[in-house]
Amino acid sequence: MPVRDKQMIRLVVTTAIYLVVMGGLLFGSAGRLDWPMGWAYMVILTATTVAVLVFGDREMLFVRAGKEKGAKTWDPLLARVSFFLFWPGSCVVAGLDYGRLHFSPSIPMPVRLIALLVFALGLAFAAWAMLANKFFAKFVHIQTDREHIVPDFPNSP
């Protein structure tokens, strides 16, 4: 099996594990599965993630999934710490709030639906940016190995 096929399989498996873990944290901390907004959240998250995997440029997917050359050493560390604190933490807090502790005030359904729409639009915008920009990366750096250049703008200092 070619190396790129193995990388793609690893990327798909890692992504599936991530989605299952997020769903497990969300519904596990809630202690219940009858949560329509939780399911809507997971469907939107899964749909945008799968869209990027299916329609994304394979080379760029591998670049985003791996260690990026030229990134500052502190950038990947900061990204990992914030990722592992934010996503799992927010799923656990939301699940505990909905299913067990009920510490948030009741939010009217129209407001929840608007928030869900904004979430979906935000993820769709991020997915579109990843699909449209072949240099979209996790960290800021010039990808000289991929012929990435910064244009010289007139009147720039």
| pLDDT computed for residue 150 by the predictor | 64
| Domain-embedded: residue 103 | yes
Q: State pLDDT tens for residues 96-135.
A: 999 999 999 999 999 999 999 999 999 999 989 888 877 7
100 neighbors 28 (Cβ within 8 angstroms): no
pLDDT at 7: 81
Per-residue pLDDT band for 77 (boundaries 50, 70, 90) equals confident
Q: Which amino acid is at 92?
A: V
Tell me the torsion sign for CA atoms 27, 31, 33, 37: negative
Q: Is residue 101 part of a domain?
A: yes
**What are the DSSP calls for 7-40, one per residue?**
HHHHHHHHHHHHHHHHHHHHHHHHT-S--HHHHH
Query: Both tokens of residue 80?
Result: 């990992």
Range of the domain at 107: 3-146
What separation in angstroms does the CA of 37 have from each of 66, 77, 94, 101, 151?
Answer: 33, 32, 11, 17, 44
Give residue 92's pLDDT band: very low, low, confident or very high (50, 70, 90): very high
Q: What is the largest CA-CA distance in the chain?
A: 59
Taking only the tens place, the pLDDT of each residue in 4-59 is 778 888 888 989 999 999 999 999 999 999 999 999 999 999 999 999 888 887 77
For residue 152, being part of any structural domain is answered with no
Tally of domains in the chain: 1
Residue 27's pLDDT is what? Answer: 97
Q: How high is the pLDDT of residue 123?
A: 93
Residue at 35 is within a domain: yes
Is 17 domain-assigned? yes
Integer Cα distance of 27 and 16 in angstroms: 16
Q: How much is the pLDDT for 132?
A: 85
* Domain presence at residue 137: yes
User: Is 63 part of any domain?
Assistant: yes
Q: Is residue 157 part of a domain?
A: no
